[in-house]
Every structure is written in structure tokens, then in C-alpha cells.
Amino acid sequence: MHAVKSKLIFQQHQFLLLWSVLLLLCVNRADANERKFSYVYETSVLPPGVRELEIWNTYRTDRGYFYRRLDQRVEYEFGVAQNLMSAFYLNSSWRMGDSNGSADSGDAVHSQEVSISSEWKYKIFDRTADPVGLALYGEATMGLNEFEIEGKILLDKQINDFLFAFNAVAEKEWETELENGIATTESELTLEFDMGASYQVNHSLSVGLEIRSHNLIKEGDWEHSALFAGPVVSFSTETWWAALTVLPQVTSFKGATQDGLVLDGLEKVESRLLFTFHL
């Protein structure tokens, strides 16, 4: 078990090094829908006929016990009409954790999930021309044993070199489990309030901060509320852009399990890299 953990820690460092190298390769500015954040969504949309291929990597590490998770998404984005865009995703998730689920003394357990998603975003107000940018976002995800519907209200504002953004997010999930030949379905509701602030250093580089308030309501009971906050860096070129965020869990307002954090259903640290090519 110790050898497996050491190998995974080494692989984690390799991931971070690769992300850093990719970001440092940028030299010019992109001329499309580059994002300044990797968790917080902005109101901008692709023009009709414009397409992008977006690669997501979200790496989560450590709960109250040994735990690693890598979520990946391949997204094909395209402009549908004026102020309207859509996207299709192929999602995969790999997990490794301690078999005890509460302490570092068991065996490594692996699992994998795959799913597909469809996204739609409609921009109502522009963040530069109007007092505030406003857009509505919807996404549906279907896997082998789960179905999710997610809705977002997106707000942002561009003030000179500063960009401020806020998302109100609601996600409903239904998950089916099979036990002794009997299928049972449970539902949960996730509410998030996400904020971001970014400063445009030059034509290629932006730096900022992202904050996420994550709240879980399961079968009508409010189970936990946790706050994440961390830095974000984004780069852009004429043909691609990238954004990297590192979000440690800062504190818990409800449901803390260890050191004032929620570490049974959430992780100590999340990191996300978005890497997008203009097609």
C-alpha cells in the first residue's frame, strides 16, 4: 500500500509539472472564447459557426483518508446562433482510495465511470456594453447509473483590465444502485455559489482568484457546506488558450468531519486545467 501511495504522489507531481509546462508555452492572445477561470463560468459565447475543442482535467486529492480522483472531459463547443452556443461532452472519472474509507490502513480500491453531457448557454446582456453581463446555462448528463440536470445563472462585468464573475448553480442528480438484484434510486441536490476576479496582466496572461461555496442536500437533508478558494492563471494564444486553478478546501460551515473540513464526500484540494483549441 505504501508503494502504491508513493507512486501516486510522484504521478501527482508529474501532472503539476506538465500543467506548468503547457501554460508557459503561451506567447500570443487568442481571438475567440477564452476563459479567465476554470470553475467560474462567464457570459461570453462563441459566434455562430465558430468551434472549439476543450480538454478538461480535474484532479482531486485526499479526504479523511487516502484518496485520488481524476475527472476528464472532452468538449466540442460551437456557436449556434447570435448569443447562443452549445456543446457536447464525453466524460470519464477514475478513482483510487483506501478500502477502509476512513483510515490509511486498507488496500487500494479502483473505480471508473463514463458519461455524456449536452450544454446550452444563452447570453442576454453583454458584460462590456451593458451595466452587467447576464447569461443562462443548462446542462444534462447521463451515465450508466446516474442522470444529472444542472442550471446556472451567470453574471459578470468587465472593468478596464479587471473581470468579475458570479455563478448561482443548482444541480439535481439521480443515482441508481443494484443490491441483491433490487434497484434503488437516490437523489441529491447540490447548490453552489461561485465567484471569481481576474486581472489582465498583458495580452496573454491573466491572474486571479476563484471562490466556491459547495452545499449538498440529500433526501431533503442539508448534509454539508464547504468553502473552496484559490488562485487561477490563464494564458491565451491565437490558436489555443489554457486556464489552471488550484482550490484547497478552506473551511466548512456544516458537516465538518476532520480539521474543520468536509472530508467524507469532498476533497482537501482540487486542481483543474482547461486546455482549448480553436477549430
Instruction: Note the pLDDT tens digit of each residue in 23-67.
Output: 444 333 333 578 999 999 999 999 999 999 999 999 999 998 889
Beta-strand (E) ranges in 67-161?
67-81, 84-98, 108-125, 133-143, 146-159
pLDDT in tens, 91-119: 999 999 876 665 556 666 778 899 999 99
pLDDT at 3 over 60: no
**226 vs 179: CA distance, rounded Å:** 31
Q: How far apart are CA 68 and CA 59, in angstroms?
A: 8
Residues found in the chain: 279
Give residue-wise pLDDT tens across range 120-171.
999 999 999 999 999 999 999 999 989 999 999 999 999 999 999 999 999 9
Domains of the chain: 2-278 (2.40.160.40)
**C-alpha grid cell, residue 127:** 458584460
pTM, to two decimals: 0.85
- As a whole number of Å, the CA-based R_g of the chain is 19
Compute the C-alpha angle 15/233/32, nearest 5°: 105
The whole-angstrom separation of Cα 125 and Cα 226 is 31
